[in-house]
């Protein structure tokens, strides 16, 4: 969830700032690059979130969560 929100906020900031967000002193591109490790290649993390929920439900059913 954190990675997805981080990517969303960084992308929106980049869109709102225009060309200035690509300058070397801007931290926005670092946020976008840093958030990609928490996401899949498709640009979202729905698959990862589904896997986590599946694992949690499985653990709850086994009464180990």
23-58 pLDDT, tens digit each: 767 777 777 777 777 766 666 667 777 888 899 999
pTM: 0.51
CA torsion through residues 14, 17, 22, 27, sign: negative
Cβ neighbours for 37, distance < 8 A, ≥ 6 positions apart: 3
Exposure on the CB side of residue 63, measured as CA atoms within 13 A = 0
Structure tokens at 32: 């976008």
Question: Hey, what's the torsion of the CAs at 57, 8, 32, 56, to 10 degrees?
Answer: 0
Residue 11, pLDDT score: 83
């Amino acid at each position: 969830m954190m990675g997805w929100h981080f990517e969303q906020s960084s992308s929106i900031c980049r869109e709102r700032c225009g060309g200035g967000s690509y300058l070397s002193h801007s931290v926005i591109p670092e946020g976008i690059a840093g958030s990609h490790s928490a996401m899949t290649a498709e640009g979202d993390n729905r698959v990862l979130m589904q896997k986590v929920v599946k694992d949690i439900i499985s653990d709850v059913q086994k009464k180990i969560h």
